[in-house]
Amino acid sequence: MTMITTVGKEMGKAMMETLEQLAFMDVYADNEVSIGKYLEQEEDCFTSSIDLKSPQAGTLVISMPSILLDTIASVIYNDGYMSNAPESPAVEDQDAANPGKSKSDLKHSKETLFDVLSEILNTLAGNFLSIVVPEEKVFSIGFPVTVLEKPEEKLLDKTENWLFYKLQEKFICAVYIDI
């Protein structure tokens, strides 16, 4: 069985691959954020978790603001709303045109945002494991479980397990890994 001991660099690479592939978004590690600061800043967020089954058991959790998920859904479904596609204005420019955007202003349904976050997490888990698990090993993951809420209280105490990423210089998403 392979022991995965350091994950920050590998998770960063997997996060970049995932969001660049799915949403054409630049991703940067953000070491300035803590889980407490993230939760204060992000009132409306969706959280998804997935079990990593083998070769090493563990859990991967991702939390994203609803407005970020709505933006990503627009890119994925190519519906042009807050799109970050190369031919469209940057997300920051569109935010300036749409000040005060709130959860009630989201274009996509809660179910669509659940699906988007579940797909992001599923892809992230696969990308991460394909980086850290040797080629000759087979890995297995469970199904994503997504909820419209902040991460579970029991995960918040494990501050060393949280990694934070900045997208489009504006949004922060949080990734928790315990393996």
List the CATH number of the domain containing 98. Answer: 3.40.1550.10
pLDDT at 89 > cutoff 50: no
Residue 2 lies in a domain: no
Number of structural domains, the chain?
Answer: 1
pLDDT at 57 > cutoff 80: yes
Residue 102 lies in a domain: yes
In which band, very low, low, confident or very high, does the pLDDT at 80 lie, cut at 50, 70 and 90? Answer: low
What is the rounded distance in angstroms from the CA atom of residue 116 to the CA atom of residue 20? Answer: 14
In which band, very low, low, confident or very high, does the pLDDT at 97 lie, cut at 50, 70 and 90? Answer: very low
Residue 3 lies in a domain: no
pLDDT at 88: 37
pTM for the model? 0.81
What is the rounded distance in angstroms from the CA atom of residue 50 to the CA atom of residue 28? Answer: 23
CB proximity list for 165: less than 8 A, separation 6 or greater: 12, 15, 27, 28, 29, 30, 172, 173, 175
Mean of pLDDT values over 120-139: 93
Mean of pLDDT values over 114-128: 95
pLDDT at 84 > cutoff 70: no
Residue 103 lies in a domain: yes
Residue 54 lies in a domain: yes
Residue 1 lies in a domain: no
pLDDT at 8 > cutoff 90: no
Residue 64 lies in a domain: yes
Residue 14 lies in a domain: yes
Q: Which domain does 41 fall in, by range? A: 8-178
